[in-house]
Amino acid sequence: MPIHDHGYARYAGVRTQPGRAWAVIAGAGIGRMLSARPFLLVLLFAWLQFFVRAVMFYLAANVPQADVIAPSPATFRDFFDDQGFFVFVVAVYAGAGSIANDRRANALQIYLSKPLTRVEYIGGKLAVVMAFLALVTWAPALLLLVMQTMFTGSLSFVREHAFLVPAITLFAFLQVLVASITMLALSSLSTSARYVGMLYAGAVIFSEAVFQTLRGVTGGGTGLSWVSFSASLAQVGDVIFRVEPRYDTPWGVSLLAVALVIALSAWVLARRVRGVEIVA
């Protein structure tokens, strides 16, 4: 039908309340990631440990000779340790290009010229990475707890270890937040997702290499574990799950190291995600 009247028309759509725009970015990001088949394969692999442990829980609940593999709070702690590699892979896959690609396409200025604040933009991007990381950490860990209850047909394990649900939730949130915000901060520093992925791998592995060297020099002493941010996170995790801390570093120092990483990443994001480039 031809358009006869090019005159002004008042917007008749629904006005979204301020502060909700992050959900649009998050939804679009999650949808885009879910449409990538290789990423779904990565998620499937990340759930392998869940299936293996579920079988072990079944055997422990139903075969009297399999008592040795019966779950304990340490089992759930180990689950998070073993998921560390997938946290790394999913963080690189989902997060490396999240801001870098927008910067590369000069889309950041377009985003921020809309009714969208910087906080909403960062929140939306953060939500995408955090959602997928929670899907490979928090969700399978909680589901394992549910499976344990289902297989034994009793709530006694959950009652005896009532701290497990909050511990799983708190540690998963901490692990996911550290990985996501660090990745986003690095992503805001470059226009190349490949470079960002490498920077993240470098930061994680290099800090671990420094710790291992210092550990060797000091004859196996682990008091300097705070130099590695994965070791710091592991130390805090041990305290949250009420298992023996693996390093000599006071857990408060490890928590401070983790908090510093989060604060530094937030500062980098605040400096780098701007609608205009400020040239000094």
Partner 1 sequence: MVDANARPAFGRAALRVFDLGLGQMLWSRRTVFMALIAGGPVLIAALLRALASLPTFDAGAGQIGGRAVSLDGPDIFGLMIWTFYLRFTVPVLGVFYGTALIADEVEDRTITYLFTRPVARGAVLAGKYLAYLACTAVVVLPSVTIVYFLVVPLLGGSIGRNFPALLVDLGLIGAGLAVYGAVFALVGAWFRRSLLTGLVFVFGWEPLVVVLPGYMKYLSVAYYLQGLAPHAMPQGDALSVIQALLTSVQTPLATWVNLAALALIWTVALAAAMRAVERREFVLGQ
Q: Show contacts with partner 1 in window 151-170 (CB under 8 A).
A: none
Total chain residues near partner 1 (CB under 8 A): 27
Q: Show contacts with partner 1 in window 234-253 (CB under 8 A).
A: none
Integer-rounded Cα Rg, in Å, for the chain is 22
- Nearest-angstrom CA–CA distance, 257 and 234: 12
Please, what is the minimum distance in Å from the beta carbon of residue 33 to partner 1?
13
- Residue 88 engages partner 1 in binding (rule: CB under 8 A): yes
Binding region for partner 1 (CB under 8 A) out of 67-75, 164-172, 209-217, 270-278: 209-217
- Residue 47 engages partner 1 in binding (rule: CB under 8 A): no
- Nearest-angstrom CA–CA distance, 103 and 191: 6
- Residue 206 engages partner 1 in binding (rule: CB under 8 A): yes
- Residue 2 engages partner 1 in binding (rule: CB under 8 A): no
- Nearest-angstrom CA–CA distance, 265 and 260: 8
Is residue 263 within 8 Å of residue 235, measured between CB atoms? Answer: no
- Residue 210 engages partner 1 in binding (rule: CB under 8 A): yes
Which tokens is 84 given?
Answer: 């560390």
> Contacting partner 1 (CB under 8 A), which of 216, 250, 263, 274?
216
Please, what is the minimum distance in Å from the beta carbon of residue 205 to partner 1?
5
Q: What burial class does residue 86 get, using C-beta atoms within 10 Å of its C-beta: 0-12 exposed, 13-18 middle, 19+ buried? A: buried
Is residue 195 within 8 Å of residue 276, measured between CB atoms? Answer: no
Nearest Cα to Cα of residue 269 among 130, 122, 125: 122
Residue whose CB is less far from partner 1, 86 or 157: 86
In this structure, how many other beta carbons lie within 10 angstroms of the beta carbon of residue 104?
14
- Residue 106 engages partner 1 in binding (rule: CB under 8 A): no
> Contacting partner 1 (CB under 8 A), which of 205, 260, 263, 264?
205
Binding residues for partner 1, per CB under 8 A?
Answer: 38, 85, 88-89, 92-93, 192, 194-195, 197-199, 201-202, 205-206, 209-210, 212-213, 215-221
